[in-house]
Amino acid sequence: MTSTTPAHRAAERAARQSYGKLIAYLAARTGDVAAAEDGLADAFAAALASWPTRGLPQAPEAWLLAAARRRIVDMARRRRTREAAADRLLLSVEEAATEMHPADVPDWRLRLMFACAHPAIEVAMRGPLILQTVLGLDAAAIAAAFLTAPKAMGQRLVRAKRRIRDTGIPFRLPDRADLPVRLDAVLEAIYAAFGAGWPDPGGIDARRQGLLDEAVWLGHVVVVCCRMSRRGWVCLL
């Protein structure tokens, strides 16, 4: 009903185009995917509250990033007394804040995909993780595609994200020696997402049809990043 206002349309457009990019950047700084998701969700909520009255910001992506970062710092502060690790989180977020130029959000989605398809993550969860973190699909949609119960899928996603944070899985491109194997893992995860969107002969489930397109788009992101690296993978690091 409200999706017709310009602010909502702008927020939706930003969500579609920037979601994975913003998650990738926020998570890479802290290693905490769940915190990045929570922060960005609040940022989108703030955008919907603020944009209709104050008008669209010049750089919506940078606006969302700044809002998400503030939220993550707040959450880290509140956790501080309970978890010493929050200090590290706080520090890296504040570091990121000082070196950021507005409207200049680097595209680290490939790093995020490498983290999601890391050998330390169980194979079956790599595709679902990529769908959730890069595309912002919810657990219910992913569960429908992978033919599992939404609740179970939600729990497994939470556990996998906690594992990324706790084990210290890096958000960076693998070393040259590891690259072929690690890239295969990413492509396999994307292919699993593609396959999950496929077996719907009647085309009844629109979400699954959408998944096909999304998986193709993910593959495209990888191809573009790899083509860029033809001169040397190092240039991407």
Smaller CB separation from other proteins, 155 or 167: 167
Check residue 166 for interaction with other proteins (CB under 8 A).
Answer: yes
Tell the residue number behind the tokens 């999706």, with chain if given: 3
The total of other beta-carbon atoms located within 10 Å of residue 17's CB is 12
- Helices (H) then strands (E): counts for the chain: 10, 0
| Closest separation in Å from C-beta 118 to other proteins | 8
| Closest separation in Å from C-beta 35 to other proteins | 17
Residue 92 φ/ψ, nearest 5 degrees? -70, -30
Check residue 178 for interaction with other proteins (CB under 8 A).
Answer: yes
With CB under 8 A as the contact rule, the residue among 104, 167, 176, 220 that binds other proteins is 167
Q: How big is the site for other proteins, counted in residues (CB under 8 A)? A: 14
Please say whether the beta carbons of 113 and 123 come within 8 A. no
Contacts of 87 (CB under 8 A, 6+ apart): 80
Please say whether the beta carbons of 186 and 117 come within 8 A. yes
Smaller CB separation from other proteins, 55 or 119: 119
End-to-end Cα distance, the chain: 44
Site string (80-109) toward other proteins, x via CB under 8 A: ----xx------------------------
Please say whether the beta carbons of 191 and 212 come within 8 A. no
Smaller CB separation from other proteins, 68 or 169: 169
Q: Which helix (H) or strand (E) holds 142?
A: helix 139-145
Smaller CB separation from other proteins, 118 or 161: 118
| Closest separation in Å from C-beta 119 to other proteins | 8
| Closest separation in Å from C-beta 166 to other proteins | 6
With CB under 8 A as the contact rule, the residue among 29, 111, 118, 126 that binds other proteins is 118
Residue 148 φ/ψ, nearest 5 degrees? -130, 170
Check residue 170 for interaction with other proteins (CB under 8 A).
Answer: yes
Check residue 120 for interaction with other proteins (CB under 8 A).
Answer: yes
Residue 5 is given by DSSP the state: S
**Residues 110, 114, 117: CA angle, nearest 5 degrees:** 135
Smaller CB separation from other proteins, 84 or 235: 84
Check residue 203 for interaction with other proteins (CB under 8 A).
Answer: no
Catalog residues that contact other proteins under the rule CB under 8 A.
84-85, 118-120, 166-170, 172, 174-175, 178
